[in-house]
Structure 1
Amino acid sequence: MSLLFEEIDSQPSPLGEISLRRRRIPALGDRDIYEVKLGEEFLMSSMFVEAEEALSTLGLAAVKGDNLKVVVGGLGLGYTAVAALKDERISELLVVEALDTVIGWHRDELVPLGKILNADPRNRYVHGSFFDLATAPEAGFDPNSAGKKFDAILLDIDHSPTEYLNESNAGFYTTENLARMAEQLKPQGVFAMWSQNLPEERFEALLRTVFETVASHVVSFYNPFLNGESTNSVYVCVKGATIERKK
């Protein structure tokens, strides 16, 4: 093992081999950088977390009230979930993750934010497909409480609304399935979603078929590899009156 690189874990998954790595880049200072790869594809890095954190801060800023119950879709390296828990209004956070290996990294504290999440009694991991749970409102996200309603759903799984971690996810991005998910939100509840791309007008139009208001935010952050700025996006949608889905 190089002092500058370590593969912490590698496990098979339904999507392919998933691995957790830690590296040092001397030019970037004295810090560990954690990375997750799926096969040969980089899924996430602790080097760039501003937009993942903004998903929580922007999404929750649009939520009114206290005693909030929130769902995070996609655990990743934990940055969205930890940012959400900084909001003292949250009483319950469900983090839905399809890959048990990723949950295990956090439970075993192989990643830095696992310790924070494990120590917070408001946090609970749910092993399951976000997309399956989102489109089954009668059962819903909470395995202990069928049909529970939430104040916010924060989603960071696919690369963008048109670039999918798994092609089977594409079916979620329709009026029908977004409406199924919205049934699990309380009135005036918020759905927010991260994207690696700039806002896409066609997706904004799709969101407006379900949600009363839709706002898109561009999140800029410094990218040392480019010696300049990179951008991601966060969509924030607010539910209006109760949506009645056709049976």
Structure 2
Amino acid sequence: MAALFEEIDSRASALGEISLRRRRIPAFGNRDIYEVKLGDEYLMSSMFVEAEEALSTLGLAAVKGDKLSVVVGGLGLGYTAVAALKDERIADLFVVEALDTVIGWHKDELVPLGKILNADSRNHYVLGSFFDLGTSPSTGFAPDSKGKKFDAILLDIDHSPTEFLNAANAGFYTTENLALMADQLKPAGVFAMWSQNLPEQGFEDLLKTVFEKVDSHVVSFYNPFQDGESTNSVYVCVKAA
């Protein structure tokens, strides 16, 4: 019988102690659940990944063309990145992560999806702050190709547009900074973002100051702890052509 709990790794980071854990939860049957904690706060769990995957599928569904260059903001446990790579149109995927420990877990294959990401030559890990790179178009998200334009940017870092992983992230959610990020998109490029909450009208209105089209999608999934559905949301925005 597998152990019900194991701490795989724990290290100091610029944001505090970050840890990777594996556990078994009877409600989820005979499978391992991986989770990432920052201090006492849960950042990511493999219990519920439907919305993280939907960030890629919904975002990329709005992108036209092929040989796509795509950015994923926030590596987490890799679910958004792996879902993106299932789209055969992608030529390059740049996964931006601020914590080298999280990238290391994937490179060392301490998390299940690390093996998939490492084996795909289209995948590139980028160590850096999404918010700093996103508001610096002259530098941009691709370290070896400054000023590169992308077909899509998929963001999953903060809990919601109004609940931040780090208080410093709040300054990103303005017309000025969203426009700087949008400068890194090609014409008709797509920005998509995950949120743990239902769509917020105030954020939709903010997005409309930068993007030509804004749609919000509610993603439902079964939650055995509540014996019912839970919801997250994904915002999908299209830049003017």
**TM-score band, normalised by shorter chain:** over 0.9
Whole-Å separation in 1 of the counterparts to 2:205 and 2:28: 40
Instruction: Tell me the CA shift for residue 103 of structure 1.
Output: 0.2
1:200 match: 200
Are residues 1:85 and 2:85 paired? yes
Whole-Å separation in 1 of the counterparts to 2:143 and 2:118: 19
**Paired residue type of 2:235:** Y
Are residues 1:74 and 2:74 paired? yes
Whole-Å separation in 2 of the counterparts to 1:28 and 1:67: 38
> Structure 2 regions of 5+ residues with no counterpart?
none
State the TM-score, normalizing by the size of structure 1.
Answer: 0.96
> Structure 1 regions of 5+ residues with no counterpart?
242-247
Instruction: Tell me the CA shift for residue 25 of structure 1.
Output: 1.3
State the TM-score, normalizing by the size of structure 2.
Answer: 0.99
Are residues 1:211 and 2:234 paired? no
Whole-Å separation in 2 of the counterparts to 1:3 and 1:123: 33
Query: SS of the residue aligned with 1:12?
Result: strand
Given that 2:27 and 2:225 are in contact with CA atoms closer than 8 Å, whether structure 1 keeps it comes out as: no
1:163 match: 163
**Paired residue type of 1:163:** E
**Paired residue type of 1:232:** N
Instruction: Tell me the CA shift for residue 27 of structure 1.
Output: 3.3
Query: SS of the residue aligned with 1:125?
Result: strand
Where in structure 2 are the equivalents of 1:1-247 lying within 5 Å?
3-241=3-241
Whole-Å separation in 2 of the counterparts to 1:3 and 1:72: 33
Whole-Å separation in 2 of the counterparts to 1:192 and 1:47: 22
**Superposition RMSD on alpha carbons, in Å?**
0.7
User: After the TM superposition, which parts of structure 1 deviate over 2 Å for at least 4 consecutive aligned residues?
Assistant: none
Whole-Å separation in 1 of the counterparts to 2:237 and 2:52: 17
Query: SS of the residue aligned with 2:64?
Result: coil
Query: SS of the residue aligned with 1:229?
Result: strand
Whole-Å separation in 2 of the counterparts to 1:113 and 1:40: 24
Instruction: Tell me the CA shift for residue 9 of structure 1.
Output: 0.2
